[in-house]
Amino acid sequence: MKDYTMQTSQIQRNYLCAICWSELTLQEDGEPVCAKYGTEHYGYVSRSYVQRRRQEDLLDYSNAHWNLSPVLNTNTKSVDELLKELGF
């Protein structure tokens, strides 16, 4: 029984919810479940996996932001400046 408790606390410490990557909490029976959604979410993934995926997502975000910056940047010129550029 003691070993089982140690195992679940290790799981709680080293793993996160497989679906939403939230912390795990222990149910009354000692079973680790998603701290946010309880038994609605099933399974868990290692903390290091989540860390690696978040770094990849951050890199993807940076690349997307860089690639879309010409489209995303709002034009800061005033209406008068734009009209002047257009020759009015």
Give the residues lining the site for Zn ion (CB under 5 A): 17, 19-20, 22, 34, 37, 41
d(C-alpha 17, C-alpha 68), whole Å: 32
Residue with smaller CB distance to Zn ion, 37 or 81: 37
d(C-alpha 15, C-alpha 34), whole Å: 10
CB 76 → Zn ion: shortest distance, Å? 41
CB 72 → Zn ion: shortest distance, Å? 31
Residue with smaller CB distance to Zn ion, 20 or 68: 20
Residue with smaller CB distance to Zn ion, 15 or 34: 34
